[in-house]
Amino acid sequence: MGELERLRKEIDEIDIEILRLLNKRAETVINIAHIKRNEKAKFYSPEREREILERLTSLNKGHFPNDTLKVIYREILSASLSLEEPLRVAYFGPQATFTHLASLRHFGSSASFLPVESIKGVFDAVDSGKTDFGVVPIENSNEGVVSSTLDLFMDYDLKISAEIMLEISHNLLSKSGDKAKIRRVYSNPQATSQCKRWLESNLPGIPLLESTSTAKAAEIASQDEEVAAIASEVAAKVYDLHFIEKDIGDSRYNFTRFLVISKDFPPKTGKDKTSIMFSIKDKPGALYDILSPFKRAKINLTKIESRPSKRKAWEYIFFLDMEGHIDDRKVRKAIDNIRDSCLYVKILGSYPHGGT
């Protein structure tokens, strides 16, 4: 037996052992499910999943890359959970949008996904109990905040249970992959705006037409050889499209932050963020008075955003992100200290920093 054949045989034996261990893990998961049912405990434990991923990546001293290890174990965890009770997740669809991709990254492909046509529809699905979780976009590093998501937190008593940071890569796709055949380009306005320089340089004079989503643009392109779509790699697979050009975005730093919403938020991990919303009394120095307790407590504020309340002229709602968990004494004390200066304060959630 030659060296190549010997090494291939070794790989085959390793694969068989991995398969045996995966099935042994599945048997243990099923036993855990029986215990959880008897004790009426929650099946999904995001803090436990995070602990597993962090432990494995910290122990990994070999050649296998940690980013890939996380992806593989996210799928193992997702498949394992589906043996207990599949998670129901609503996302701002349709299939193959970046929100769909963020949902897959966070929950794995074994979750039961429900695409809905609006961000409000995601809130409705979670609020009604139709799904356990929802995934919605909240801000893009280049385009700024998604105001409709912020507005909906005023109307629903839902919590932020996680955040997902997804690097956005825009691709030009078509049925043939031939740029010379393209007569029209479809995408949603945000994606088109983020690829403006590339489009002007490479497709001058080609009409840029609006679609409701990057996935809808891909669907249109799949039906017409003269149409190209700006969309994700997932959209290329779903709609059987070819790449004309990969990564055509003008900025090499393009991330979108997504929020996972649910009826509860997880216990603290030690690497958390807390989000609140509040309305302040109309008086000089009101916002300064609100921010001062956080400064005194040395709490890092990572974001502040204001929106019209839509209930009274010139009344504003402020959204604030800070480092720390609501169960941290200094965080809770700082929030308690601002209540007298506010018309109201609402805690939107405490959740692990940065997502996975």
C-alpha torsion 92→145→317→328, nearest 10: 90
- Annotated catalytic residue, options 133, 153, 258, 265: 258
256 part of the active site = yes
List CB contacts of 284: < 8 A, sequence separation 6 or more: none
Choosing from 97, 99, 256, 274, which is the catalytic residue?
A: 256
Asked if residue 93 lies in contact with residue 212, where contact means CB atoms within 8 angstroms, the answer is no
| 258 flagged as catalytic | yes
Secondary structure element (H or E) that encloses residue 133, with its range:
strand 133-140
143: left (phi over 0), alpha (psi -120 to 50) or beta: alpha
**b/e for 13-50, b at 16 or more Cβ within 10 A?**
eeeeeeeeeeeeeeeebeeebeeeeeeeeeebebeebb
DSSP character for 269?
-
Instruction: Report the DSSP pairing between strands 184-187 and 227-231.
Output: parallel
- The residues annotated as belonging to the active site are 256, 258
